[in-house]
A = this chain, B = another copy of it.
């Protein structure tokens, strides 16, 4: 394979993502536009594959696209300082830690709820009662919601 010989479907399989995701990354400027065949089909090379793997790996680690954009810019300037990348990763670690803390307290409330859910009728159901009355929950799980 000389270069610019990989069709989009093969690239998608090799990166573990969908074809549309690749086109989306191109659209938002994360991936540079590849060469095209005479019939306007995209053909990628090794450099694209590397970059896409980088993006997908960072996404799996939960980095948002703007952070990935910064990381890609940093990785292109081989001489510049590592502190920037460090700071971004540290920020991401903090975000992950915050999410873990919250999810852990959510889990314990859900477990508490289920452990006591022995009512046969809704009117005695602990699950419903807990949701209806915030006072019944012991832990602090306030702040932004469980997702993202």
Residues on A facing B (Cβ under 8 Å): 16, 50, 53-54, 57-62, 71, 74-75, 77-82, 85-86, 88-90, 92-93, 96-97, 99-100, 103-104, 106-107, 109-111, 113-114, 117, 119-125, 127-128, 130-134, 137, 141-142, 145-148
Contact = CB atoms under 8 A, between A and B. Distances in A.
Task: Summarize A's interface: helix, strand, loop or mixed.
Answer: helix
A31 to B, nearest CB: 15
A88 B111 CA distance: 13
Contacts of A57: 130-132, 134, 137
Nearest to A114: B89
Contacts of A119: 82
Contacts of A60: 106, 141-142, 145-146
B89 A122 contact: no
B82 A122 contact: yes
Given A86-B117, A100-B104, A110 B93 contact: yes
23 contacts: A53-B133, A59-B145, A60-B106, A60-B145, A60-B146, A61-B106, A61-B141, A62-B106, A71-B128, A74-B122, A75-B132, A78-B121, A79-B123, A80-B122, A81-B121, A82-B122, A82-B124, A82-B125, A86-B127, A96-B106, A99-B103, A99-B146, A147-B147
A82 B121 CA distance: 5
B89 A110 contact: yes
